[in-house]
Amino acid sequence: MASSIKDLVLQETSRLFLWFPAGMGLGIMVYLSLATEPPLWVTLFILLLSGLAWNWSRHFNVARLPAGIALSISLGAAAIHSKTWYLTHITGVQPLSGKIKGEFSGIITNVEYRKDRQRWWVALQDGRLVRLSDNGKVPLAVGYKIRFRSTLLPFSPPVLEDGYDFGRAAFFKGLSATGRMNEVVILDSTSSASDFIHAARSQITQALFKALPGEAGAIAAALVTGERGQIPERVRQAYADAGIAHVLAISGLHLSMIAGLIFMIFRRGLSLSMRLAEHYNLKKIASIITFPFLIGYLFLSGLGVPAMRAFVMVAIVLLGILVDRKAISMRTLALAAIVILLIQPENLLSASFALSFAAVMALIAAYESGWAPLKEWAYQGRGWRHIVVYLSGIVASTVIATLATLPITLYIFNRISLQAILGNLCAIPLMGFVIMPLLLLGVISLIFGQASILFSILGQAIKLMTKVATWTATLPGAAIQLAKPPEAFIWLIAFGGLWLCLWRTKIRFLGILPCVVAVAFLWVKPSSFIWVSSEALIYWYDGKTLSTFANVRHNSFAEEILLRQLGLKQLEMVPGETTQLQIANKTIVLLNERFSFAKHAQLCQQAQIIVSSRYVPISYEDRVDIILDRSYLARGQGALLRLSETAAPELYSPPQRPWHPAPG
């Protein structure tokens, strides 16, 4: 028994390298979870020590595994810490600690399209890069130098402690503040060479909007330049509920389709010359020609994580053709992950990174051993066998990718779709055989003169795909909303999934155990809490319902996030100026901005916790255990109070990191 286990372990040693990106990811998570910012030299010194230990371990096989683990973790931490230091000290990213009002000037460097407006990235004279929306009265473009008035605001911290951190995401994009422009004056309208890529993306996006008005143009722009802001919310939600939202984000699906089309066009075109076909390897020539097109599409798409992952993998495949090697493997995926985590380590926490790598990893693991017999059967028979294998591949790929990404989708978006197989059966062939080829020809035609017939056919194909998504989204099981599970759920799923996919022998099935344990966490209910926004709006969750005061203004954005994370569909409105709660054996009094202490003094004297939208008199400080009022909210970050039956109330505030400076 012991010898058989030893044999299995020895067979897996060649795949230990596949765990290196996982170690890097752990190092990134360790750095991001720190309460304070450590000195960079400490992180680099640890990396140096682990590198020396790895080099020394070559002489001692027993130490090789722990040295490799230490090296991967320290490399991930060093990558994210170095980028943070670079953005802070070299690029000059300075997130605001409070709002700033005044007149500013700067140069427009990028544009984001939204449903009813545009958002501009403006490099200010003081070095800050800010994201601003405008009133649309002055026509602007990338490269313009402008002067304007605005109130610049810091990006908000996460609504709940385990929610999406807008401030951190903005920091790693190089953004320091957000706001709205008024009284815009154009000082100079000459674009610089450095703005060429952004300007090209903007011009192609506008041309697609003009050639395909409405929803079709918005989806076409999303597939070419990655601009999804003008896709109507109902359409976006229909694609998500149908399980085919991935077709709206530029990913490996689109980039591989484009690469395949270009490769086929040049290979078939060159083969028309008998002289070339006889004297040269046309596959290698087509591979070389495909490279610049891939690079152009990558930059045109906005350098998204799925596109970068796909670019690295497709590039390795093309290099494999050049050196006569098979390149589609788990090792290729691991190399792609290492490259992305070194260049953009912050993307580890993005949905696109997790979903794209989980799906591809699961597909490679499944097809490494189970796809060859079916493929051989297709090649030995007639054409109908190829159709059967193609359709079977779509079904199998959809099932595998859905199972792999379902836990991530649940954890991040708090909803899942059980109709993904049907949606992908219709959408993938339509994308591969009609929409992407037409888009390629359409973008080329924009250079030489718009082909109206081509865009007419393309528009009908996109509308057909949207109808399929809308119909599929109405079927039972298309949109199931659940509460966000605890963090332990995603950690167990990640470890179990990696164990299942990265090993090849029987020991891989041990990965099922942590996945089964993770499922049990789906029945763990979120703990009760009281959340107060920086605008002093009060929301509370008692374990069953999410409530707020009815007679005050509301933060619809925060309400949507809270309801989604709690798995709820409706917000309960409580009338009046005050309310008294009993949560976790605590008497809690909530006071909105319209209350009067003279009127509600007796109610406040009975409280153990007071949460107020206004200042609470000093006389209550000795009588009440916890007071959250304007004096705390003046820090500008809001407040989150967690309440538990088994522990004392816990007040959460974001740690002071470069992306969340101390409030001014």
Select from 479, 478, 481 the least CA-distant residue to 564.
Answer: 481
| Contacting residues for 264 by C-beta, under 8 A, at least 6 apart | 286
Q: What DSSP line would sit under 347-410, residue for residue?
A: GGGSHHHHHHHHHHHHHHHHHHHHSHHHHHHHHTS-HHHHHHHHHHHHHHHHHHHHHHHHHHHH
Residue 10 pLDDT greater than 60, yes or no = yes
Higher pLDDT, 41 or 638: 41
Position 78 confidence tier, pLDDT thresholds 50, 70, 90: very high
Q: Which of 81-85, 373-377, 510-514, 539-543 has the lowest mean pLDDT?
A: 373-377
Distance, in Å, from the CA atom of 164 to the CA atom of 160, rounded to the nearest integer, reads 8
Which run of H or E residues covers position 640? strand 639-643
Position 499 confidence tier, pLDDT thresholds 50, 70, 90: very high
Please report the pLDDT score of residue 9 as a whole number.
Answer: 60
Strands (E), 49-133: 100-113, 118-124, 129-133
Task: Work out the burial of residue 484: count CB atoms within 10 Å of its CB; fewer than 13 is exposed, 13-18 middle, 19 or more buried.
Answer: buried
Q: Whole-model pTM?
A: 0.83
Mean pLDDT of 256-271: 78
Mean pLDDT of 39-64: 88
Please report the pLDDT score of residue 193 as a whole number.
Answer: 44
Select from 53, 84, 41, 612 the least CA-distant residue to 345.
Answer: 84
Residue 267 pLDDT greater than 70, yes or no = yes
Q: Could you say which DSSP state residue 595 is in?
A: -
| Contacting residues for 52 by C-beta, under 8 A, at least 6 apart | none
Higher pLDDT, 345 or 4: 345
Select from 570, 566, 540, 538 the least CA-distant residue to 553.
Answer: 538
Q: How far apart are the first and last CA of the chain?
A: 65
The per-residue pLDDT for range 436-472, each reduced to its tens digit, is 888 878 877 777 666 678 888 888 988 999 898 888 8
Q: Are 415 and 480 in contact (CB under 8 A)?
A: yes
Secondary structure string (H, E, C) spanning 425-455:
HHHHHHHHHHHHHHHHHHHHHHHHCCCHHHH
The per-residue pLDDT for range 86-109, each reduced to its tens digit, is 999 888 888 888 788 899 999 888
Q: Which residues of 426-447 are buried (b: 16+ CB within 10 A; e: fewer)?
A: bbbebbbebbbbbbbebbebbe
The per-residue pLDDT for range 346-377, each reduced to its tens digit, is 988 888 788 878 888 888 888 776 665 666 65
Strand order in the sheet with 586-591: 578-583, 586-591, 609-612, 626-628
Mean pLDDT of 9-38: 88
Residue 412 pLDDT greater than 90, yes or no = no
Three-state SS at 18:
helix
Domain 100-191 part of CATH 3.60.15.10: no
Residue 553 pLDDT greater than 70, yes or no = yes
Select from 485, 502, 458 the least CA-distant residue to 21.
Answer: 502
Residue 192 pLDDT greater than 60, yes or no = no
* pLDDT over 90 percentage in the chain: 16
Residue 638 pLDDT greater than 80, yes or no = no
Task: Work out the burial of residue 236: count CB atoms within 10 Å of its CB; fewer than 13 is exposed, 13-18 middle, 19 or more buried.
Answer: middle
Q: Could you say which DSSP state residue 118 is in?
A: E
Q: Which of 224-228, 264-268, 304-308 has the lowest mean pLDDT?
A: 304-308
